[in-house]
Structure 1
Amino acid sequence: MRLPPIAPADLSPLQRPLYDDMRSGVSAKYDLFTTARADGALLGPWNAWLHQPEVGAAFWTVTQAMTAFKILPDAVRQVAILAVGARFGAAYEIYAHGAVAQARHAMSDQRLSTLAAGERPPDLTDEEATAFDVARALTGGGILPEPTYRRAVALFGQAGANELIYLVGHYCFVSVTLNGFAILVPEEDPAGTGERA
């Protein structure tokens, strides 16, 4: 971890409001994986955003919007997020959203392992397979192929297809943040041992 976690007692006046907002939001939504140390210091991408709160606040706002205004079924979202995390080799992303997928959608270890390896599991629903294909194509570079785009619109409607594209882009950013700052799975990083939100 390249940016040390910031204990609540050490927050600057600019960091404090962002910390409070993120801690509250993270605690409400992400209780299935470790998001903070025992002293309350945030882990994952949230710690990185705290180090530059003027910019981090904007990223947090986008994250909240991506969650608050969702149309896509959550299982579909998790497949797309895991496909992005796998493409970037973002360990924390796979750890976090793998926990969500297993707990909330009974994703099997085999399916999770296949997604984490960047491969398409054979037992995906049509919606999940489309989410995987969109994520895989967009993270490969270039324009999303027309048949893949049309399939997303047919299954999810225009607003749902838009959301899927935004979701993939957002988690590309999150994955790059995690990799750029060497944010690991907390159990693999002595600086990150902590608690679930």
Structure 2
Amino acid sequence: MRLPLIAPADLTAEQKPLYDDMRAGISANFNAFKVEREDGALMGPWNPWLHEPAIGKAIWELTKAMTANASLNDNVRQIAILVVGARYDAAYEIYAHIAVAERDGMTAERLATITADLKPGDLAPDESIAFDIAYSLSRGGTLAEPLYALGLRTFGQHGLNELIYLVGLYAMVSTTLNGFNVPVPERE
């Protein structure tokens, strides 16, 4: 880990309101995995964002907006997030979103296949399209027109927009995690 965790007692005046907002949002939406140390210091991507609170606040606001305005079903979202995490080999992202997907009933076989950067054979049609879109976008370049059109027919414009933004957000999260070598906590 390249940035030390910040204990709540050591937060600056600029960091404290962001920490409080993050902690409230985490407890409501990101509670399937370990996100804080015993003393309340935030782990995962939240710690690097706290180190740069002006930038971290903007990223956190985007994260909250993507969560609050989610219209895609949870499996579609988790598949897209895990595809991105696998592409970037972002250990904490994979750890966290496996925990979320397991809580939601996704099988170990499916999770193993996705995190091996492969497409599972048991995906529902909307899950398969989400996988293909996330897989394509996370490799760079323009999303192919047939795949975009298929996404549009499947999810509608709002849903496809959400999926594209979700891939971008989690590419940024993965880059943050990898850039700062954020470790994975032990699973309980």
> Per the shorter chain, which TM-score range?
over 0.9
Q: CA RMSD in A?
A: 1.1
Q: Which amino acid aligns with 1:159?
A: H
Output the CA distance in 2 between the equivalents of 1:124 and 1:167: 19
TM-score when scaled to structure 1?
A: 0.93
Q: TM-score, normalised by structure 2?
A: 0.98
Match in the other structure for 1:80: 80
Distance 1:103 1:54 in 2: 33
* Cα distance in 1 between the residues matched to 2:134 and 2:166: 9
What displacement does 1:74 show?
Answer: 1.1
In structure 1, the residue matched to 2:131 is 132
Report the number of matched residues: 188
- 2:178 is equivalent to residue 148 of structure 1: no
- Summarize deviations over 1:2-37 as a string: whole Å, max 9, x none: 111100000000000000000110011122100000
Instruction: Deviation per CA, 1:93-119: give whole Å up to 9, x if none.
Output: 011011101111x11111101011110
Residue 33 in structure 1 maps to residue 33 in structure 2? yes
Identity within the alignment, %: 59
Q: Paired residue for 2:10?
A: 10
Q: CA offset at residue 187 of structure 1?
A: 2.0
> Equivalent residue of 1:123, what SS?
coil
Higher relative contact order (CA 8 A, sep 6+): 1
Counterpart residue number, 1:122: 121
Moved over 6 A (4+): none
Q: C-alpha separation between the residues in 2 aligned to 1:133 and 1:183?
A: 28
Distance in 1 (CA, whole Å) between partners of 2:5 and 2:75 is 31
Question: Which consecutive residues of structure 2, in runs of 5 or more, have no partner in the other structure?
Answer: none
